[in-house]
Amino acid sequence: MRVIAIDGPSGVGKSSTSKEVARRLGWAYLDTGAMYRAMAWLALSRGVSDPGDVVELVRGADLEISTDPDGFRIEVDGIDVTEEIRTDAVSAGVQTVSGVPEAREELIEKQREAIAEKPAGIVVEGRDITTVVAPDAPVRILMTADEDVRIARRAGENHGTADAEAIAATRALVADRDAKDSQTTSFLTAADGVHTLDTTHVSFEEAVEAVLALAKEAA
């Protein structure tokens, strides 16, 4: 099984690092967080919030996600929601889906199926990949970073700047989501056998090289 599993909170560089590692290895890339976001978008668009209804929504949805690191795309029921899932409204509503155990189970099964379809190699990133989705992956990594650094990075991504106003707007969103998600997943502390990669003072290239080195060791 050629799988690199990467977990971590917002702003540690999971997505950018995972994509680049996948590119250099010639492997597929799976953004599991985008799957939760897509289902959150669907729930918001349909006004669904009851846990039981959310489970049925997830079960009945036609979810298609690209595993090409150079051509990410995600569709729900034939609708391209690649851009829509990155809005603050969707970010704030992800817990509507991720906080429902049965809904998580449905999406975890889809994630495992996606991994199984890529035996040549896949880099998978999210918040419970190393412990739940792919606990037997040869390479398991928890990426971390100081909270202030993470918030500044996410502010830059969301607002194009990391000035005081952007950071203030981002802080509550990031901290709130981390707090809620930590109730259902473990992504703040590395489990046994999981490597910790602190990116607080690490450049993007250094993070990529660190992951590639671990992949080489496991080969």
Task: Tell me if 186 is assigned to a ligand binding site.
Answer: no
Task: Tell me if 98 is assigned to a ligand binding site.
Answer: no
Residues 6+ apart with CB under 8 A from 170: 151, 154, 155, 158, 159
Report the distance separating Cα 157 and Cα 197, nearest Å: 21
Helix %, strand %, coil % of the chain (to 5)? 55, 15, 30
Task: Tell me if 9 is assigned to a ligand binding site.
Answer: yes
Task: Tell me if 156 is assigned to a ligand binding site.
Answer: no
Task: Tell me if 16 is assigned to a ligand binding site.
Answer: yes
Task: Tell me if 10 is assigned to a ligand binding site.
Answer: yes
Query: Token match 């035996």: residue?
Result: 119
Task: Tell me if 8 is assigned to a ligand binding site.
Answer: yes
Task: Tell me if 15 is assigned to a ligand binding site.
Answer: yes
Task: Tell me if 11 is assigned to a ligand binding site.
Answer: yes
Cβ proximity of 55 and 103 under 8 Å: yes
The annotated binding site is made up of: 8-16
Residues annotated within a binding site for ATP: 8-16
